[in-house]
């Protein structure tokens, strides 16, 4: 089970994620919607340069034009990017700009999935799907709403039919990640908000528990043969 810890803002949070065993870390750059974890491209580049081997930096952005996204990628020297709400024609342009080693992770919201035809056109352009099974849409991430709910059964159905790796996200924590993984059976998991303390900083205890629980699911699946 691959584990990404998102919303890394500084060296202390980076060290926390690394020491707790994260496989990837997310740097949020390019803000269009509310968020407390966005940082400057220069900060993201500095933090990415400090990563040890075998831990992947991922750029997470609200930007939705190829030029703007690629500019941030070039400034951070991070060429794995997680995007959402990017028009199809802009995605084609972005794909053309990326080096061959570049990766695109496209965020889908299980409550409002694109139709089969749209997804069929999208698949050749992306490398993985980040499936949010809690928030309804990108513009209400981090915003309180009574309509938000965990939709892991729907997520599991999505994974069964997806030709691409699916990374599960959406208000995951140490308390719910085992149930989420067993239901959805994703390629990986991605968490941010519930790993932060009251000051908005990454909590080492919660982060460590989350990663251990997620990795424990893989171990149990090997033992049981599931």
For residue 141, report the phi and psi dihedrals to the nearest 5 degrees: -65, 130
pTM of the predicted structure, to 2 decimals: 0.92
| Model pLDDT, residue 140 | 62
* C-alpha to C-alpha distance for 166 and 186, rounded to whole angstroms: 5
Tokens encoding 94: 């972005």
Give which of 110, 105, 138 is closest to 123, Cα–Cα: 105
| Model pLDDT, residue 141 | 65
Tokens encoding 180: 């989420």
| Model pLDDT, residue 135 | 86
- Across-strand partners of 169? 132
Cβ(103)–Cβ(93) under 8 Å? no
Mapped onto helix, strand or coil, the DSSP state of residue 75 is helix
Cβ(128)–Cβ(167) under 8 Å? yes
Task: Write the DSSP assignment of 176-221 as a string of letters.
Answer: THHHHHHHH--SEEEE-GGGB-TTS-B-HHHHHHHHHHHHHHHHHH
| Model pLDDT, residue 104 | 98
Cα atoms in the Cβ-side hemisphere of radius 13 Å centred on 187:
16
| Model pLDDT, residue 222 | 40
Cα atoms in the Cβ-side hemisphere of radius 13 Å centred on 220:
11
CATH number for 99 = 3.20.20.70
* C-alpha to C-alpha distance for 12 and 160, rounded to whole angstroms: 38
| Model pLDDT, residue 219 | 56
Q: Give residue for tokens 């069929």.
A: 120
pLDDT in tens, 8-35: 999 999 999 999 999 999 999 998 777 8
* C-alpha to C-alpha distance for 97 and 185, rounded to whole angstroms: 32
Low-confidence residues in the chain, pLDDT < 70: 137-146, 218-226
| Model pLDDT, residue 138 | 67
Structural domain span for residue 188: 2-224
User: How many independent structural domains does the chain possess?
Assistant: 1
């Amino acid at each position: 089970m691959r584990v990404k810890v998102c919303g890394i803002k500084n060296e202390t949070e980076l060290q926390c994620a690394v020491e707790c065993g994260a496989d990837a870390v997310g740097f949020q750059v390019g803000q269009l919607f509310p968020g407390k974890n966005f940082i400057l491209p220069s900060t993201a580049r500095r933090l990415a340069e400090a990563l040890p081997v075998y831990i992947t930096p991922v750029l997470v952005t609200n930007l939705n034009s190829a030029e703007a996204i690629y500019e941030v990628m070039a400034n951070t020297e991070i060429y794995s990017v997680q995007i959402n709400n990017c028009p199809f024609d802009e995605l084609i342009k972005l794909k053309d700009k990326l080096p061959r080693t570049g990766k695109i992770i496209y965020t889908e919201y299980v409550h409002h999935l694109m139709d089969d035809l749209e997804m069929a056109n999208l698949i050749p352009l992306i490398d993985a799907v980040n499936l949010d099974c809690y928030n309804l849409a990108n513009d209400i991430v981090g915003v309180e709403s009574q309509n938000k709910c965990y939709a892991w059964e729907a997520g599991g159905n999505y994974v069964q039919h997806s030709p691409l790796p699916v990374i599960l996200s959406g208000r995951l924590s140490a308390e719910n990640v085992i149930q989420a993984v067993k239901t959805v059976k994703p390629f990986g998991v991605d968490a941010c908000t519930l790993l932060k303390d009251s000051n908005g900083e990454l909590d080492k205890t919660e982060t460590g528990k989350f990663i251990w629980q997620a990795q424990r699911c893989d171990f149990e699946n090997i033992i049981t043969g599931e």
